[in-house]
Amino acid sequence: MKTIAKLFTIAIASILVIACAGPEQKKDTTKEDVKKEVKEAAETTKLFIEGEFDKLVNNFEEFGTKTEENIADMRKKVENTEGELKAKLENKLDDIKQTSEKLNKKVKEFKDATGDKKDEIKKEIKTLKTALDESIKTFNEEIEKK
């Protein structure tokens, strides 16, 4: 019983000490604090967007490099054909090369663009990329038919 009384006394004493200490006084948020937080958030957002922009540009550039390699391989395949098929494939290959050059030009424009112009160019790049993919697919299908 004495142990319970001692524990009860210690518990009451602890509660009183904690209660007397009172809650911590919270610092009021100032205008400067808000400005600092907003500035930090803006900087973090800017860094994130720059990172995403770099990834996107690298993706476009890798696609351009891969396309150039594909064009070189396709030229070799065209050399092994003859007559009307060769002329048809050379024309398709020229079209693919032109589309690839347009895509590379748009990627360069994208790097230098800002705001809404960047979104517009991004859409154009995606359209060119899709057209280029389709042209390459069609070319490969025709070369396999020979």
Tokens 């398709």, residue? 92
Distance from C-alpha of 37 to C-alpha of 43, rounded to nearest angstrom: 10
Q: Give Cα separations from 143 to 6, 31, 78, 90, 92 (angstroms).
A: 94, 69, 8, 11, 11
pLDDT at 25: 57
Comparing CA positions, the residue from 121, 130, 128 lying closest to residue 53 is 121
Query: Cα-Cα-Cα-Cα dihedral of 21, 24, 25, 30, to 10°?
Result: 170
pLDDT in tens, 42-96: 788 877 877 887 887 888 888 888 888 888 888 888 888 888 888 888 899 999 9
pTM, entire model: 0.61
Query: Cα-Cα-Cα-Cα dihedral of 137, 142, 143, 146, to 10°?
Result: 160
Sign of the CA dihedral 77, 98, 105, 60?
Answer: negative
pLDDT > 70: percent of the chain:
81
